[in-house]
């Protein structure tokens, strides 16, 4: 919980709120000039983070680290990471697709192309009570609906972080001698994921999907005007950049 709260506080919106709160406290204490500086910084950061020009640049930089899956690439297994469904919570009658559900579709397509004989789905229920059913179980059900045989799917239901994804996948695959994997996750998440899986002992071929940023045909005035969607994209890129830095600091990459 503490780690999650710290993450929220250090994301763009969290920093903006802290600046506004600090400015209010400074104004109450009579330090009006310093308070104005805090308010101006808050507005500038919020405006910048919420513009498509900034969000596209940040996300494209991270997504561009990993090349697309090479034609004809094959492995001992396909590994698909969780974070690809909205949980089974009322009023939903079951799990629902989200943007990152591209991971599931990509894995199903690659299996049908014969890229690997096995699919490993990694992801537990998560620490926030999103669903009582492990996400890997829900994803496996969708893979079966989309043409992957049940007997070709392995699930691990205990991991809640990227590092745990890699450790639990290693526990399943390495005893089988399966080291060459095609790793399926969102392009923004791929640099940290691929590095983590390599550290866990795998030979990784990335299969990125769910790209947030595509090549713009042309830029317009709207690209420097704030939007909620751009703020969300900036926050996602910020989160991944911070995750990469944290994993490197901890020696996990």
pLDDT tens digit at each of 253 positions of the chain? 555 656 666 799 999 999 999 999 999 999 999 999 999 999 999 999 999 999 999 999 999 999 999 999 999 999 999 999 988 888 988 889 999 999 999 999 999 999 999 999 999 875 444 557 899 999 999 999 999 999 999 999 999 999 999 999 999 999 999 999 999 999 999 999 999 999 999 999 999 999 999 887 778 888 899 999 999 999 999 999 999 999 999 999 8
Q: How far is CA 66 from CA 121, 137, 211, in A?
A: 21, 28, 11
Residues listed for the chain: 253
Predicted pLDDT of residue 127 = 47
Q: What is the pTM of this model?
A: 0.90
**In 3D, which of 89, 110, 92, 215 has the Cα closest to residue 152?**
110
The answer for residues whose C-beta is within 8 angstroms of residue 223's C-beta and 6 or more apart is: 51, 52, 53, 56, 216
Domain boundaries, the chain: 2-63+226-249, 77-209
Superfamily of domain 77-209: HUPs (3.40.50.620)
**Rounded Cα gap, residues 193 and 136, in angstroms:** 17
Residue-wise burial string across 59-98, b where 16 or more C-beta atoms lie within 10 A, e elsewhere? bbebbebbeebeeeeebbbbbbbbbbbbbbeeeeeebeee
Predicted pLDDT of residue 108 = 97
The answer for residues whose C-beta is within 8 angstroms of residue 179's C-beta and 6 or more apart is: 76, 173, 201, 202, 203
pLDDT digits (tens, 9 = 90+) for 38-67: 999 999 999 999 999 999 999 999 999 999
CA 55 to the chain's CA centroid: 15
**In 3D, which of 114, 138, 111 has the Cα closest to residue 124?**
138
**Rounded Cα gap, residues 122 and 159, in angstroms:** 7
Predicted pLDDT of residue 125 = 73
Q: Which helix (H) or strand (E) holds 122?
A: strand 119-122
CB 187 within 8 A of CB 209: yes
């Amino acid at each position: 919980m503490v780690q999650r709260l710290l993450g929220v506080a250090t994301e763009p919106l969290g920093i903006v709120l802290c600046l506004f709160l600090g400015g209010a406290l400074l104004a109450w204490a009579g330090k009006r000039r310093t308070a104005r500086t805090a308010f101006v910084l808050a507005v500038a950061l919020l405006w910048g983070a919420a513009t498509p020009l900034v969000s596209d640049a940040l996300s494209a930089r991270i997504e561009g680290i990993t090349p697309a899956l090479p034609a004809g690439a094959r492995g001992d297994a396909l590994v698909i990471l969780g974070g690809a469904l909205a949980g089974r919570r009322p009023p939903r009658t079951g799990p629902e697709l989200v943007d990152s559900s591209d991971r599931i579709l990509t894995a199903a397509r690659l299996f049908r192309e014969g890229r690997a004989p096995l699919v490993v789905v990694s992801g537990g229920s998560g620490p926030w009570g999103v669903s009582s059913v492990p996400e890997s179980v829900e994803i496996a059900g969708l893979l079966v609906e989309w043409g992957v045989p049940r007997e070709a799917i392995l699930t691990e239901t205990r991991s809640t972080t990227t590092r745990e994804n890699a450790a639990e996948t290693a526990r399943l695959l390495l005893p089988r001698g399966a080291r060459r994997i095609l790793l399926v996750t969102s392009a923004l998440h791929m640099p940290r994921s691929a590095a983590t899986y390599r550290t866990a002992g795998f030979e990784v071929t990335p299969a990125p999907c769910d790209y947030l940023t595509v090549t713009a045909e042309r830029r317009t005035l709207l690209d420097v005007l704030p939007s909620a969607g751009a703020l969300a994209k900036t926050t996602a890129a910020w989160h991944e950049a911070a995750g990469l830095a944290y994993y490197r600091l901890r020696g996990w990459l």
